[in-house]
Chains A and B, each alone.
Chain A
Amino acid sequence: MTDHMHNGERVPLVSFRNFGIKFKTYDGKLTALEEVNLDIYPGETLGVIGESGCGKTSLATAIMGLVAENGEVTGEVRLNNEVVADSKGSGENFRKLSRRERKILQEKLINIRWKEASMVFQGSMNAFNPAYTIEKQIKEVFKIHTTMNEQEIDKRIVEVLEEAGLNKSVLKAFPHELSGGMKQRAVLAMALALSPSVVIADEPTTGLDVVIQAKIIQELKKIKNKSERAMIVISHDIGVVSQLAERIAVLYSGRIMEIGNTWDVYLKPLNPYTLALIKSYPSLEKARKVMKGIPGEPPSAYIERKGCLFAERCEFAEEKCREEEPQLREVIPGRFSRCHFAEKLMANQADTDGEELPVVEIDQDDVILKIEDLKEYFTLRASAAGSLFSREEGSKFVRAVDDLNLEIRRREIFGVIGESGSGKTTLGRVVVKLLEPTSGKVTYFPLKVQGDGHANSDGSGTRVDRTFIGNGTKDKIDYGWIEVTSVKEKSNEMRAFRRLTQVIFQDPYDSIDPKMSVYDVVSEPIIAYRVTRDPLEARDMVSNALSTVRLSPPENFFERFSHELSGGERQRVTAARSLVLRPEFIIMDEPISMLDVSLRAGFMNLILDMRRNLGISVLYITHDLASARYVCDRLMVMYLGVGMETGNTEDVIKNPGHPYTKALLKAVPKPSPDWDPTEVEIIGEIGNAVNVPKGCRFSKRCIYAQEECKDVPPTRKDLGNGHWYLCHFSQEELRKIHEKINEN
Chain B
Amino acid sequence: MTNYDEKSNGKGSQDEKQRMREMRRRRLSFQSYRFKKTWKIFYSNPYGKIGFYILLFFVVVTIASPVLTFHKDPAVYIAPAIDTTVPELSVSGFVGNFTGGIQSNITSYASSASVGGSNYVYTINANGKITALSLRTGLINSTGRIYSVTNGSINESNPMGMSVFTLVQSINEITYADSYSNYILTATADGYINLTKITEVNSNGQVIPPQAVGYESTVLPNSRLVLMPISSSIPNNQGSFTFIPFYSASSSPYGPNTNIGRIFAVTQSTTNSSYFLTELMDDGLTVQWQRELPFSTQPTGIQVYGSFFTYSTSQLVIVTSASQIIAFHMNGTEAWKTNVSGMSFTGNMYIPYSFQKRTSSSNFILAAANNTTSSKLYAINATDGSPVSLLNATSPDMSAISSTSEIGVFPTVMTIVKDKAYLMSGPNKLAGTVTLPSIYGIYNRDPIYDPAANTFIISSSKGAVYSLMVTLGPNPFTWGLVPKSASEQISVPNLVYDSATESEVITFRSTNGYLYVYSSDGKDINPIPPTLHSASGGVFLLGTNSAGNDVWSQFIASFPTDWEVGIVVGIIGIAIALAFGVLIGYYRGFISTAADTLVLAYFLIPFLPLEIALVSVIKPSLVNVIWILSVTLWPFITFTILGIIRSVKQRTFIDAAKVSGAKTGQIVVLNLMPNILPVLAYLTAGNVSGAVGSISTLQFLGLVPLTIMTWGAMLNPFEENFYIAATAWWWVLPPTIALTLFVTAFIFVSRGIDEVVNPRLRRR
A610 to B45 alpha-carbon distance, docked (Å): 45
A25 touching B675, Cβ below 8 Å: no
B72 proximal to A (CB < 8 A):
no
Indicate whether A218 reaches chain B with its CB closer than 8 angstroms. Answer: no
B762 CB, nearest partner CB in chain A, Å: 6
With a cutoff of 8 Å between Cβ atoms, the chain B residues found around residue A432 in the complex are 659
Q: Does B1 contact A (CB under 8 A)?
A: yes
Knowing A513-B671, A548-B1 touch, does A528 contact B663 (C-beta < 8 A)?
yes
A505/B652 in contact, CB under 8 A: yes
- Chain B min CB distance to A643 (Å): 23
CB distance from A1 to the nearest CB of B (A): 43
Interface membership of A498, Cβ < 8 A: yes
Contacts A505-B652, A512-B653 given: A535-B674 contact, CB under 8 Å? no
B656 near A498 with CB under 8 A, answer no
Cβ-based interface call for A739 (8 A)? no
Question: Is A507 interfacial (CB 8 A cutoff)?
Answer: yes
Q: Which residue of B lies closest to A512 (CB)?
A: B653
Contact of A503 among B7, B655, B762 (CB under 8 A): B655
Residues in B neighbouring A545, C-beta threshold 8 A: 1
Q: Does A56 contact B (CB under 8 A)?
A: no
Closest to A526 in B: B660
Residue in A517, A525, A582 whose beta carbon sits within 8 Å of that of B661 in the complex: A525
Whether the Cβ atoms of A541 and B659 lie closer than 8 Å is: no
Select from chain A the residue with minimum beta-carbon distance to B11: A534
* CB-based nearest A residue for B662: A528
One digit per residue, 1 when the CB lies within 8 angstroms of any chain A CB and 0 when it does not, for chain B 600-618 equals 0000000000000000000
Contact A503 B4 (CB under 8 A): no
Q: Is the CB of B656 within 8 A of A577?
A: yes
Q: A-facing mask of B573-598, CB < 8 A → 1, else 0?
A: 00000000000000000000100000
Q: Which B residues touch A384, using CB under 8 A?
A: 593
How would residues 1 to 16 of chain B score, 1 for a CB under 8 Å from any chain A CB and 0 otherwise? 1101101000100001
B23–A539 CB distance below 8 A: yes
The smallest C-beta distance from B207 to any residue of chain A, in angstroms, reads: 80
Measured between alpha carbons, how far is A499 from B658 in the docked complex, in Å?
Answer: 11
How far is B657's CA from A434's CA once the two chains are assembled, in angstroms?
11
Contact of B653 among A434, A495, A511, A528 (CB under 8 A): A511
B729 within 8 A of A: no
- Minimal beta-carbon separation of A530 from chain B (angstroms): 10
Out of B20, B657, B762, name the residue touching A535 (CB < 8 Å).
B20
Give the total of B residues in contact with A, Cβ under 8 Å. Answer: 37
A-chain residues with CB within 8 Å of residue B16 when the two chains form the complex: 536
CB distance from B279 to the nearest CB of A (A): 99
Asked if B661 and A614 make an inter-chain contact with CB atoms under 8 angstroms apart, the answer reads: no
Q: How far is the CB of B695 from chain A (nearest CB, A)?
A: 34
- Other-chain contact of B656, A520, A544, A574 (Cβ < 8 Å): A574
Known: A70-B764, A535-B20, A536-B16. A434 touches B593 (CB 8 A): no
Known: A535-B23, A536-B16. A511 touches B662 (CB 8 A): no
> Would A516 and B674 count as touching, CB distance under 8 A?
yes
- In the bound complex, residues from chain A placing their C-beta under 8 Å from that of B670 are 513, 516, 520, 524, 527
Interface residue A514 (Cβ < 8 Å from any Cβ of B):
yes
Q: Is B30 an interface residue (CB 8 A)?
A: yes
B157: Cβ under 8 A from any A Cβ: no
Neighbouring A residues of B30 by C-beta, 8 Å:
517, 558-559
Q: B179 at the A/B interface (Cβ < 8 Å)?
A: no
Nearest CB of chain A from residue B376's CB, rounded to whole Å = 83
A513 touches B661 (CB 8 A): no
Contacts of B25 in A (CB 8 A): none
Q: Is the interface of B mostly helix, strand, loop or mixed?
A: helix
* Chain B residues within an 8 Å CB radius of A503: 655-656, 659
B20-A513 in contact (CB<8A):
no
**Most chain A C-beta atoms within 10 Å of own C-beta, residue among B1, B30, B651:** B1
Question: In the complex, how many residue pairs between chain A and chain B have their CB atoms under 8 Å apart?
Answer: 110
Would you give the 0/1 interface string for B265-304, flagging 1 where the beta carbon is closer than 8 Å to chain A?
A: 0000000000000000000000000000000000000000
Query: Does B1 lie within 8 Å of A544, measured CB to CB?
Result: yes
A494 to chain B, nearest CB (A): 9
Chain B CB within 8 A of A467 CB: yes
Q: B659–A614 contact, CB under 8 A?
A: no
CA distance A432 to B660 in the complex (A): 11
B658 A511 Cβ-Cβ under 8 A: no
CB <8 Å contact, A524 and B662: yes
CB pair B666 A528 closer than 8 Å? yes
Contact A498 B5 (CB under 8 A): no
Contact B661 A515 (CB under 8 A): no
Contacts of B662 in A (CB 8 A): 524-525, 527-528
Q: How far is the CB of A384 from chain B (nearest CB, A)?
A: 7
**Interface residue A26 (Cβ < 8 Å from any Cβ of B):** yes
A498-B651 in contact (CB<8A): no
With contact pairs A536-B19, A548-B1, A563-B759 given, residues A495 and B661 touching in the complex (Cβ less than 8 Å) = yes
Q: Which of A32-84 contact B (CB under 8 A)?
A: 70
Question: B36 an interface residue at 8 Å Cβ cutoff?
Answer: no
Which A-chain residue is minimally distant from B5 (CB atoms)? A469
A contact residues around B666 at 8 Å (CB):
527-528
Q: Is the CB of A498 within 8 A of B653?
A: no
Bound-state CA distance A578–B1 (Å) is 13
Distance of A495 Cα from B660 Cα, bound (Å): 10
A7 contacts partner chain B, Cβ-Cβ < 8 Å: no
Query: Does any Cβ of A come within 8 Å of B26's Cβ?
Result: yes
Residues of A within 8 A of B653 (CB): 510-514
- A502 near B: Cβ within 8 Å? yes
Chain A residues whose C-beta falls within 8 Å of the C-beta of B677 in the assembled complex? 515
Whether B1 pairs with A505 at a CB distance below 8 angstroms is no
In the complex, A537 Cα to B7 Cα: how many Å?
8
Closest CB pairs A-B (n = 4): A515-B674, A511-B652, A528-B661, A525-B660
Further contacts, 12 of them, CB under 8 A, given A516-B671, A525-B660: A495-B661, A502-B659, A502-B660, A506-B652, A511-B653, A513-B671, A525-B661, A528-B660, A528-B661, A535-B20, A579-B1, A613-B1
Q: B: which residues have CB within 8 A of A?
A: 1-2, 4-5, 7, 11, 16, 19-20, 23, 26, 30, 33, 44, 593, 651-653, 655-663, 666, 670-671, 674-675, 677, 759, 762-764
A to B CB contacts below 8 Å, 23 in the list: A26-B762, A26-B763, A434-B658, A498-B659, A498-B660, A502-B660, A503-B656, A503-B659, A510-B653, A513-B671, A514-B675, A524-B670, A528-B657, A528-B660, A534-B11, A536-B16, A536-B23, A537-B4, A540-B4, A540-B7, A544-B4, A559-B30, A577-B660
> Could you tell me which A residues sit within 8 Å of B by CB distance?
25-26, 70, 383-384, 429, 432, 434, 467, 469-470, 495, 498-499, 501-503, 505-507, 510-517, 520, 524-525, 527-529, 534-537, 539-541, 544-545, 548, 558-559, 563, 574, 577-579, 582, 613-614
